[in-house]
Amino acid sequence: MKIRSLFISTLLLAGLLPAAAQSVKLTAGNIDAVLKAMTLEEKARLLVGERQTKVPGAAGATAAIPRLGIPQTILSDGPAGLRINPTRKDDAQTYYTTAFPVGSLMAATWNVELAEQTGKAMGNEVLQYGCDVLLAPGLNIHRSPLCGRNFEYYSEDPLLAGKMAAYTVRGIQSNGVGTSVKHFAVNSQETERTSVNEVVSKRTLRELYLRNFEIAVREGHPWTVMSSYNRLNGPFTQENRQLLTTLLREEWGFDGIVMTDWTGTRNTVAQVHAGNDLMEPGNNEQVTQIVEAVKAGTLAMEDVDICVKRILQYIVKTPAFRGYKYSNRPDLEAHARLVRESAPEGMVLLKNENATLPMQGVKTVALFGAQSYATLACGLGSGCVNIAAAVSLARGLSNAGINHTADLSDLYKMGRDFDDAHNKMLQESNWDRAAGRTQYPELAISRYLADEQAKKSDLAIITIAHEAGEGWDRPIEGWRGFNLTADELDMIKNVTEAYHAAGKKVVVVINSGSVMETASWKARPDAILMAWQPGGEAGNAIADVLTGKANPSGKLPMTWPIDVMDHPSSMNFPTRKGTNDEVSLHEEGLKVGYRYFDTARKEVSYPFGYGLSYTTFAYSKPQVKAAKNGFTATVTVKNTGKVAGKESVQLYVSAPKGKLEKPAKELRAFAKTRRLAPGESQTLSFTVSSYGLASFDEAANRWIADAGQYAVLFGANVEDIRCQAAFTLKKAYTQQVNDILQPDQEL
Ligand code: BGC
């Protein structure tokens, strides 16, 4: 103690520490005083992340400065739940967390309250495991079905993505921990993600790729935003002051911190000047660069102070600062129950001919497809939660009292030890150990065993599972591709032919985080369920839907095209076709997802917003009332079927003809009913502001909603408009904004 104060007095005498340094300890009320007391070196340290050992497996941390009472804070992935190491060296305790459904499933629920509730449970695990910020949600726009991280993200539509993110943020942060909405912005591909220049028009940016973040920031108030790896219209997003300061803070009012994605050293001075407060994961070189740049006058102390102050404002909100006594024991059982209850709300029933589902009188099923026995909870990369194993579909069905044929399950298990297997069937398969994941002998199994299995079981279930992940985009072909492999297509053919010949039915369950090709094979099975990657309770939740314990109410948050090349973006995804120039030109502009398919009347396999139910709904009494700023609308939804269920209603608006060309219709609001009993009705309400109706006129740098009549369309999906009303905007609405983010290349 004595030695320490002697040391500080020596420094004070030498003029090396600011005068107030001696006694100041950070409190919520003395941030300015602490800032004043900090040395340049300390300030630089705070802007750069540091390694941490407090929570093994957490992605990063902010630096501790004990002298000033500044604790280290812990940042941890990710969007589907807390990603930390479940076991620790020399420690008998386990630290498992809950794998919640992936983002695309959550978006398919169209249920913002459920997103909030899920966020609340995730945030509780963040708090109870000693972390301060969850690096989530991810809300980049699904520009192409091929983006490897689409499973983490929500939708091709910015309103749906923005609202889901805002409510998830609110839920997580209700625990007194933070979020980091990511990746800001236009990180819609993984190929060359740390170098690619996304070139996007100002209008497309404002209406599509930034609108989602705008909603999340304005309505969710996240503590932090994560700037992306990529460049945008020239500079890296992390170095772009127009993006991080002019837009994010001055226009949208963001008052938290911006941290980089997990980048090495870039132009540190430009990052600080841009308003990128925190460099993650951080290294000493960056600290030195900040110190030297300030000394050399190439970085203003004022820029540094602004960032430091924001970090201090963040720190005083954290559990680490509050000294929160975390338990390391969140209620995992309660969270598993939530996952099981909520996942069916996002599962999408794509086809259900002759009421195949829910299964009736089925005692034994045959489970084809390797992932029937090893169901995928989530995608790969930082969005994957470290659980022991998800409940498999086989296990979920057993739990529900449905048997599966043992000989088939034994065969799939044997596929894992192919070296020991010797029969003709396995030799004929395309099983490929080199591919890194076991490729099971689907073709051979279905060819040789389908007839026999059809005799032994009442129904067949085929699981199709293609995995995607961080750092790579999905190929079109192959076992991770958008298209099904030839073996999978043959399996569907063989199994459906055998079962139909025996007068029995076949269900396909898709266990993938994003959209798949369906047009070429969807006529064959009797029912198709898009189960996504539904988290740790996967098999139980799927079984609940198959048995009718739960009625699926998910609707697609993205268009399912016939061919992936039908998307205009495919011409330039991931880079300009035929080139490798690390530039991704968004020549398609707003022609992304349904904004293209619906406007061009291009046929799709399943439209945006599509999803069946075990019951039916009728819409009536569409009403629109002008409000002070925009309009409010209502529609009444009645359950006209025989079982209870929920229905989400999408409110699309068709704008009057004006100067700007516009999509035929755009999603402007949505709502979901509570669980309605047969015969029960509910009136849903929607609010749309004039700003929410506006398009971006890039020549004038302003938002504009033309005066005139707007058709207000209440849809079960984008192609199925059930009823409509109209709204008249008497006077054009305009809002002038900054002229920023100009593309650096011609589009
Ligand atoms: C990912 C982020 C993640 C971070 C920390 C990065 O590679 O892009 O989404 O939060 O790693 O793990």
Across the range 368-390, mean pLDDT stands at 90
Residue 117: partners with Cβ closer than 8 Å, 6 or more residues away: 171, 338, 342
CA of 694 to the centre of ligand 1 (A): 33
| Antiparallel, parallel or unpaired: β 648-654 and 708-717 | antiparallel
Torsion on CA atoms 14, 295, 45, 183, rounded to nearest 10: 170
Task: State the helix-helix crossing angle for 332-346 and 538-547, rounded to 10 degrees.
Answer: 50
Of residues 77, 132, 157, 261, which has the active-site annotation? 261
Q: How far apart are CA 461 and CA 737, in angstroms?
A: 54
| pLDDT per residue as tens digits for the range 580-610 | 679 999 999 999 999 999 999 999 999 999 9
| DSSP string for 89-107 | TTEEEE-----PPPHHHHH
Mutating to test ligand 1, I would choose from 62, 382, 385 the residue with most ligand atoms within 8 A of its C-beta, which is: 382
Strands of the 527-530 sheet, one edge to the other:
348-352, 527-530, 505-510, 459-464, 364-368, 403-404
Q: Pocket residues for ligand 1 (CB within 6 Å)?
A: 59, 77-78, 135, 182, 261-262, 382
Backbone angles phi, psi at 364, to 5 degrees: -130, 130
pLDDT of residue 507: 98
Minimal-distance CA residue to ligand 1 atom 11: 262
pLDDT of residue 410: 81
pTM value surpassing 0.85: yes
pLDDT of residue 4: 44
CA of 177 to the centre of ligand 1 (A): 18
pLDDT of residue 436: 34
| Residue 13 predicted with pLDDT over 50 | no
Q: How far apart are CA 378 and CA 390, in angstroms?
A: 9
| pLDDT per residue as tens digits for the range 513-563 | 999 999 999 999 999 999 999 999 999 999 999 999 999 999 999 999 999
Strands (E), 110-164: 133-134
* More confident position, 714 or 747: 714
Contact, 258 vs 278, CB < 8 A?
A: yes
Q: How far apart are CA 235 and CA 585, in angstroms?
A: 15
- Confidence bin at 98 (pLDDT 50/70/90): very high
| pLDDT per residue as tens digits for the range 52-97 | 999 999 999 999 999 999 999 999 999 999 999 999 999 999 999 9
| DSSP string for 638-668 | EE-SSS-B--EEEEEEEPPP-SS---S-EEE
Across the range 149-172, mean pLDDT stands at 98
Instruction: Return the half-sphere exposure (C-beta side, CA atoms, 13 A cut-off) of residue 373.
Output: 21
Nearest C-alpha neighbor of 423 from the set 407, 402, 403: 407
CA of 718 to the centre of ligand 1 (A): 33
Strands of the 257-260 sheet, one edge to the other:
60-62, 73-76, 133-134, 178-184, 224-227, 257-260
Q: How far apart are CA 389 and CA 663, in angstroms?
A: 44
CA of 227 to the centre of ligand 1 (A): 11
CA-to-CA separations, 194 to 122, 134, 183, 259, 716, in angstroms, rounded: 29, 22, 12, 15, 39
Minimal-distance CA residue to ligand 1 atom 9: 382
CA of 382 to the centre of ligand 1 (A): 6
| pLDDT per residue as tens digits for the range 329-360 | 999 999 999 999 999 999 999 999 999 999 99
Average pLDDT value over all residues in the chain: 93
Residues of 12-37 as b/e, b for ≥16 C-beta within 10 angstroms? Answer: eeeeebbeebeebebeeebbeebbeb
CA of 261 to the centre of ligand 1 (A): 6
CA-to-CA separations, 273 to 227, 243, 244, 254, 282, in angstroms, rounded: 14, 12, 10, 17, 17
Residue 38: partners with Cβ closer than 8 Å, 6 or more residues away: 18, 21, 46, 65, 68, 308
Other beta carbons within 10 angstroms of residue 626's beta carbon come to 12
pLDDT of residue 608: 99
Minimal-distance CA residue to ligand 1 atom 7: 262
CA of 377 to the centre of ligand 1 (A): 19
420 three-class SS? helix
- Residue 91 is among the residues annotated as catalytic for this protein: no
pLDDT of residue 389: 82
* More confident position, 507 or 434: 507
Mutating to test ligand 1, I would choose from 133, 386, 470 the residue with most ligand atoms within 8 A of its C-beta, which is: 470
| Residue 434 predicted with pLDDT over 50 | no
pLDDT of residue 744: 95
84 three-class SS? coil
Separation of CA 400 from chain center: 30
CA of 60, closest atom in ligand 1? 5
Minimal-distance CA residue to ligand 1 atom 2: 261
Q: How is residue 8 written in tokens?
A: 């500080």
Nearest C-alpha neighbor of 508 from the set 491, 525, 487: 525
Mutating to test ligand 1, I would choose from 76, 135, 227, 236 the residue with most ligand atoms within 8 A of its C-beta, which is: 135
Minimal-distance CA residue to ligand 1 atom 12: 59
CA of 138, closest atom in ligand 1? 9
CA of 228, closest atom in ligand 1? 8
- Confidence bin at 691 (pLDDT 50/70/90): very high
**For 481, which DSSP code?**
S
- Confidence bin at 447 (pLDDT 50/70/90): confident
| pLDDT per residue as tens digits for the range 355-367 | 999 999 999 999 9
CA of 281, closest atom in ligand 1? 5
